[in-house]
Amino acid sequence: MLLQTVRPNIVQAIRAFRVDDLLAAAQTMGHHFLYANLASAQTKQDVLEGIAQAFLFPAHFGKNLDALHDCMTDLVYKSGEQAGFVVVLEQLPDNPRFDREVREQVLDVFRDTADFWGERKIPFRCFYSFQ
């Protein structure tokens, strides 16, 4: 199995993994697969909007980091039992309008989300790449 050597609650660079293989692994394990291609995003707001659209967040999504965390944790947790998650954030911006600090803040939300699900013994693996 593709993900057996990957910790169950982690945020890491996609490295040698291919998106199609991650999708297949998620399907095999019965986990949710959440994918966002952020190649056209240039700012923090663009990234949050891209994630919200790709992950089908509710219309009332606040487009800020707290709202992102709430949608990835509480909103999903309250909807019922979860088997696990494989998340791919492809092509996060790497440009002056989206500096490293902002990128780390976004990734920190996913790290906190991995911890949230880990405390509940539910796998949450997030993979990312940069433009």
The β-bridge relationship of strands 124-130 and 85-92 is: parallel
Q: How many domains does the chain have?
A: 1
Annotate 60-122 with DSSP letters as a single string.
T--SSHHHHHHHHTHHHHTT-----EEEEEEEE--BTTB-HHHHHHHHHHHHHHHHHHHHTT-
pLDDT in tens, 44-76: 999 999 999 999 999 889 999 999 999 999 888
User: In which band, very low, low, confident or very high, does the pLDDT at 16 lie, cut at 50, 70 and 90?
Assistant: confident
Kindly state whether residue 66 falls inside one of the protein's structural domains. Answer: yes
74: left (phi over 0), alpha (psi -120 to 50) or beta: alpha
Block residue for tokens 């999708």:
23
Range 34-49 average pLDDT:
95
pTM passes above 0.85? yes
Tell me, yes or no, whether 1 lies in a domain: no
Domain that holds residue 104: 10-130
| Residue 4 forms part of a structural domain | no
CATH number at residue 61: 3.30.370.10
Residue 2 in any domain: the answer is no
- At 24, the pLDDT band (50, 70, 90 cuts) reads very high
Mean residue pLDDT of the chain comes to 94
- Lowest mean pLDDT: which of 2-11, 95-104, 118-127? 95-104
